[in-house]
Amino acid sequence: MFEYENPWTPAHQAVESSDHATLTRLLDEGADVNEVCCEMTLLTHAIELEGDSALQSGQPIDSALTAIVLAYGADPVATVEGHQSPYELAQFYDHGMATRLLDRFTTGMGK
């Protein structure tokens, strides 16, 4: 029998599962809000998941995961080398809510 190895850290798994309560609890307990897993920060993972989920389902886009990780101090301009920035990813998915949140969290940071 083939066993699937989950590549995600607990916080990234919470993002992947859209489990807002678990994500919030993990961050509140000290999980690194800027951790990188599978070449994504939590913030880029949140934006990508929200954008892709809306695209695939046809449902309105949601920004709860993005808001949670930003509220817990995610660096809004952190980028993994060779990958899109959070802002570029939000633009790619036409994720206006994420773009506006990023704008609010980068004000005064020299964006």
The answer to the question of residue 34 being in a domain is: yes
How many domains does the chain fold into? Answer: 1
- The pLDDT tens digits of the residues spanning 38-93 come to 999 999 999 999 999 999 999 999 999 999 999 999 999 999 999 999 999 999 99
- The pLDDT tens digits of the residues spanning 15-49 come to 999 999 999 999 999 999 999 999 999 999 999 99
Model confidence, pTM:
0.90
Alpha-carbon torsion, ordered 2, 14, 61, 39, to 10 deg: -70
The answer to the question of residue 75 being in a domain is: yes
Range of the domain at 73: 12-106
Q: How much is the pLDDT for 110?
A: 45
Backbone angles phi, psi at 37, to 5 degrees: -145, 135
User: Could you give the CA distance from residue 85 to residue 25 in angstroms, rounded to a whole number?
Assistant: 26
The CATH number of the domain holding residue 93 is 1.25.40.20
- Angle, alpha carbons 48-110-38 (nearest 5°): 25
Q: How far is CA 87 from the centre of its chain?
A: 11
The answer to the question of residue 4 being in a domain is: no
Q: How much is the pLDDT for 1?
A: 61
